[in-house]
Amino acid sequence: MRETYKEKMTEKVAGHFSRLELRIMEDIIRRIRKTGEITSTAGHQLNRLRMLGNSTEDIEKYIKEALNASYADMFELYDKVLENEYVRNRALYEQVNAHYIPYEENLQIQRLVEALRAQTAGDFQNIAQSMGFVVDVGGGRRAFTPLAMYYQQYLDEAIMDIAFGGFDYGSVLRRTVAQMTASGIRTVYYAPENSGRLHTNRIDVAARRAVMTGTAQLTGEISRHNARQLGTEYFEVSWHANARPTHREWQGRVWSASQLESVCGLGSVTGLCGANCGHDYYPFMPGASQRLYTDAWLKEQARKEDAPRYFRGKGYTGYEATQKQRRMETAMRAQREKVHLLKQGGADEEEVMRARCKYQGQLQEYAAFSRKMGLTQQRERIYLDMRGRVAP
């Protein structure tokens, strides 16, 4: 990242962008080495580097040095990518110059920096606002343990990667869980609240929820920033199928900024952009903007989702079916871990095989249930542990 950018940012936020830039660059080089060319994904990532303020000269120099390539190699690499139809920014490869986007003109970076400032109250860390590894020290006070800093760092990197568009959600989540488990983190614990009981989550569940929630909240901060620029106080909330009943009441509709909190529950754990919420919201200008979803369309979708579908003699609404699907995925992740622990503990081969066969049966039941309910299988949730094939 250019020094002129770093001068405009605090040390913490400049560090976030510098590490993001490095992760993108390393992934681009990995892809080029693997395929011998600039793939569609690598091309998208090169555009992200350009948006981070790098000139075409900066980018070519990095690729050339990382690959230990000659100028002839670079010409061939660039000529090959220009022959493909997927090129998003031909100027990136057709001309090499030292011109870069000044920070003052880079509105996307400015919006993201402003969102980071608002989300973290100016601290620029713990973007997910996770309370993992926090202990109750008495008197209503809580304190982060040393392990919390490592956990928050992994989450911060994941949210930056997704929010800036440098990496896709699935690959970021798999990488994050793999990093945490490799560091010895298996379970995330939270300070007890009213119950006085310690709350725990498996690392894959905790990481996915924290990354998804943190990214949604950061996107919300960007939407509020954009709304201020547009001079509107209204927002349209997104819609998704089989939303939880309390969210279905307000999804797909237009609300004022105050109603986002009073009606949609923005800022609460169970409301808009809270834990496991899949909704976003975007600026809406009455009289100029047009709603994506009409009331009649929303009503018809609700009717379809409420019509039960049957599996093994039991009826499920759309929402109930997704919850059943999540429980099945959780059970399969636990069974995969059981197989792994049996192997590590030197268990009898027949016992290991029985555990693997049970997992195979779970997979088949999951596939059958998803087909019957008309749901897409989300096996990436099952394979977050990066343990590869488990079924016999």
Q: Which pLDDT belongs to residue 25?
A: 92
Torsion over CA: 226, 13, 154, 151 (sign):
negative
Task: Look up the pTM and report it.
Answer: 0.74
Q: Which residue has the higher pLDDT, 184 or 118?
A: 118
Q: Which residue has the higher pLDDT, 107 or 155?
A: 155
**What is residue 202's three-state secondary structure?**
strand
**What is residue 187's three-state secondary structure?**
strand
pLDDT at residue 279 greater than cutoff 90: yes
Q: Which pLDDT belongs to residue 135?
A: 63
Q: Which residue has the higher pLDDT, 204 or 306?
A: 306
Tell me the CB-side half-sphere exposure of residue 211, using CA atoms within 13 A: 27
- CA–CA separation, 84 vs 218, rounded Å? 34
- Residue 267 sits at φ, ψ, to 5 deg, of 100, -10
In this prediction, residue 4 has a pLDDT band, given cuts at 50, 70 and 90, of low
* Cα distance from N-terminal residue to C-terminal residue, the chain: 48
Torsion over CA: 241, 245, 249, 250 (sign):
negative
Element (H, E) at 46: helix 40-51
Chain segment 144-160, per-residue pLDDT in tens? 677 788 888 889 999 99
Q: Which pLDDT belongs to residue 357?
A: 96
CB 206 within 8 A of CB 132: yes
Average of per-residue pLDDT across 303-311: 96
Q: Which residue has the higher pLDDT, 108 or 176?
A: 176
- What is the per-residue burial (b if ≥16 Cβ within 10 Å, else e) of 296-314? eebeebeeebeeebebeee
- Alpha-carbon Rg of the chain, whole angstroms? 24
CB 199 within 8 A of CB 112: no
As a whole number, the mean pLDDT across the chain is: 86
Please list, in sequence order, all residues whose beta carbon lies within 8 angstroms of the beta carbon of residue 82, skipping any fewer than 6 positions away.
90, 93, 94
**What is residue 135's three-state secondary structure?**
strand
Least confident of 48-57, 101-110, 235-244: 101-110
Least confident of 79-83, 129-133, 191-195, 287-291: 191-195
- CA–CA separation, 166 vs 332, rounded Å? 30
- CA–CA separation, 30 vs 91, rounded Å? 23
Q: How long is the chain?
A: 392
Please list, in sequence order, all residues whose beta carbon lies within 8 angstroms of the beta carbon of residue 195, skipping any fewer than 6 positions away.
none
- CA–CA separation, 232 vs 235, rounded Å? 8
- CA–CA separation, 267 vs 68, rounded Å? 50
Element (H, E) at 314: strand 314-316
- CA–CA separation, 134 vs 144, rounded Å? 4
Average of per-residue pLDDT across 301-315: 96
Q: Which of 352, 241, 346, 253 is nearest to 293 (CA)?
A: 253
pLDDT at residue 80 greater than cutoff 60: yes
The residue behind tokens 């990481």 is 207
Q: Which pLDDT belongs to residue 301?
A: 96
Least confident of 5-9, 19-23, 73-77, 375-379: 5-9
Average of per-residue pLDDT across 347-369: 95
Least confident of 102-111, 211-220, 334-343: 102-111
Tokens of 265: 């529950």
Average of per-residue pLDDT across 310-323: 96
Please list, in sequence order, all residues whose beta carbon lies within 8 angstroms of the beta carbon of residue 314, skipping any fewer than 6 positions away.
none
- CA–CA separation, 281 vs 225, rounded Å? 12
Segments of 187-308 assigned E as strands: 187-190, 199-202, 234-237, 254-256, 281-284
CB 127 within 8 A of CB 116: yes
